[in-house]
Amino acid sequence: MNKETITKTLTDLFSLEDKVILMTGAAGAIGSEIAKCYANLGAKVVIADFNEEAMAEVKQEIDAAGGESTCMKLCLPDEDSIEEVVNGTIEKYGRIDVLANIAGINKRTLMTNGAEETFDRIIGVNLKGSYLISISVAKKMIALNETLPEEQKVHLSIINVASYNSVMMLGGNSVYGMSKSGVAAMTRSQAIEWAKYGFRSNALTPGHISTKLTTQLWDDPYYSKYMLDRIAMARPGYPEDMLGMSVLLASDASAYMSGQLCIVDGGCLAGGQPWEI
């Protein structure tokens, strides 16, 4: 097989050229890697985050590689902030082809030590924020499609971020797990309610990922062993491990996928490392 045929086949399946991708949490450890990957594949990436300094760094890297991106400050779950970002994206690019709800936060604490403020903040960003921005984008793309000929209609792909904790739990992650279980249910609801508009929704579902925010866990002998014993591949995941699935869900290669938890966990939920027999 010649390289031109291989390149054309891959491009036809996975190219993101000229797709407009609005990403929340695009300045974070996982979000920034996905944003750069999307831009490298030809997407016009809107980097939406609350951390303006981190956003500027991601944009600088995208620009240096010849990609296209723009930064918009986003404070979830504030509705005015959401509307400003969604409207700003449409004003700049005319449409939104992919909404990637990457933004997420956590605070590990036992339920008996829980506080209403912690609950509201985690649920607000992880679930309510994704819920509100998804509705805003969906409504606007439905309205836009009513004005467009069939060949120009937007086939919106929503990528939510669920978690290992959508399915299994770790102690101290109760509110985070609630929020991510809600994200899983929201993904299925979006898939069944918005399919008639040509929209689809799937959830990128990471396992145990090593980032700056989880360094203290991976550096701890007890917790790192606990996690590694439960991962068949016997290693943590890294942000770059999320890229393949993120591209699949944003591209037309996944045109018949919707309502799925797309698990990237090194074999953790499959059962972890086997016993020695």
The residues annotated with a catalytic role in the active site are 176
Instruction: Give the type of residue at 105.
Output: I
In angstroms, the CA 78 to CA 246 distance is: 26
Which ranges constitute the DSSP H helices of the chain?
3-14, 29-40, 52-64, 79-93, 116-123, 130-145, 174-194, 215-218, 221-229, 243-250
Q: Which DSSP symbol is given to 237?
A: B
Per-residue CA distances from 105 to 9, 28, 33, 134, 138 (Å): 38, 10, 17, 18, 24
Coil, strand or helix at 79: helix
CA-nearest of 201, 190, 193 to 262 is 201
Determine if residue 234 is left, alpha or beta; phi over 0 gives left, psi from -120 to 50 gives alpha, anything else beta: left
Give, in order, the Cα–Cα distances in Å from 133 to each of 79, 139, 204, 243: 8, 10, 17, 23
Contact yes or no for 170/131 (Cβ under 8 A): no
